[in-house]
Amino acid sequence: MTTNSPSHEIDVLAEPSDSGINQANNLNSDATRLRMPVGDATNAQLLQRLQEMEARLQAAMEKRSRADDGMFVELKTMSQRLLEEMDVLRTANANAGGARPNLEKKIEDLQRQNAEQRELLTALLDENIKQHKSTRNTMRSSAHEQVEFNLSHHLDEFSKGLASEVRIVLGEISMLLEERGQLKEQRRWLQEECRELETKLALLRKKVHKAEPNRTTNDADAPSLPETSRWSMFVSSLKQKWRARSSPL
């Protein structure tokens, strides 16, 4: 009768556990990538990633559960095979009538190997289950902390940016108000200057009209009518320019 060696059976049974550990490591790496800063990630994207991670975690748990079920089935099959071999050995020993005393020793060895393998597999399963639960709890806590941290970080950045923009706008408004006040002062001053020029022009016209009938050829200091017309044109053009500049105010 041929039986598999205990080391081979342990390797076969440990393969699903290794795959479960690899899946847990992959989930840990996903959680690590989730901790990286998200420049323009939104809350909806974060929630979607959390839902995808939860679905992957659930699928990994189901796969792990199926692997554990298969492991227990294989362990049960191996135990049943060992029991059958023990029954065969007992039957052969009883039929031989004590002619082969080493059969009892073989049975004891098989029982001892069976107990050792069972203890080893049980300890391995318990350790894998504990590690799986610890990984899942760590992923959930880290995911929630990362979501809260990202939200607070984005809110702080938005508040800082908004405050800086408001300060800039207020500074520009104050500058515009100062410029507007300065322009109003200049406009008032120019209006006063224009009024003074108009007054002087009116007085000059009166003097010209009074001096025109009595003007002689030697009177070179008296202003002529073309000079008064040039003054009038200059004042009117100056008024038009400043009216055009001050009209938006």
Task: Calculate mean pLDDT across residues 233-243.
Answer: 69
Q: What is the mean pLDDT of residues 170-186?
A: 90
DSSP one-letter code for 3: -
3-state SS track over 174-202: HHHHHHHHHHHHHHHHHHHHHHHHHHHHH
- Fill in the amino acid letter for 63: K
Q: Is the pLDDT of residue 249 over 50?
A: no
Give the pLDDT confidence score for residue 169 in this predicted structure. Answer: 92
Query: In this model, does residue 175 exceed pLDDT 70?
Result: yes
| Torsion over CA: 86, 92, 96, 101 (sign) | negative
Are the C-beta atoms of residues 61 and 143 closer than 8 Å to each other? Answer: no
**What is the pTM assigned to this prediction?**
0.28
Higher pLDDT, 199 or 3: 199
Cβ-contact 88, 112 below 8 angstroms: no
Quick: pLDDT tens for 118-139. 888 888 888 888 888 888 887 7
pLDDT of residue 102: 67
Model pLDDT, residue 79? 80
First to last CA, the chain: 110
CB 125 within 8 A of CB 13: no
Q: What is the pLDDT of residue 4?
A: 45
Query: Confidence class of residue 2 from pLDDT cuts 50, 70 and 90?
Result: very low
Non-local (6+) Cβ contacts of 100 within 8 A are 92, 93
Are 34 and 92 in contact by the 8 Å Cβ rule? The answer is no
Q: Return the ∠ at Cα 136 (arms to 134 and 141), rounded to 5°.
A: 95
DSSP 3-state of 219: coil
Domain extent listing, the chain: 6-173, 180-246
pLDDT, mean of residues 129-151: 71
CA 242 to chain CA mean position, Å: 55
**Looking at residues 191-219, what average pLDDT do you find?**
73
DSSP code for 5: -
Cβ atoms 67, 19 nearer than 8 A: yes
User: What pLDDT is stored for residue 173 in this prediction?
Assistant: 92
**What is the Cα–Cα distance from 112 to 82, expressed in whole angstroms?**
11
Give the per-residue pLDDT at 170.
92
H runs (alpha helix) in 97-224: 102-211
Averaged pLDDT for residues 82-100: 72
Angle in degrees, 0-180, between the axes of helices 6-34 and 43-96, rounded to the nearest 10: 170
Task: pLDDT band for 27, please (50, 70, 90 cuts).
Answer: low
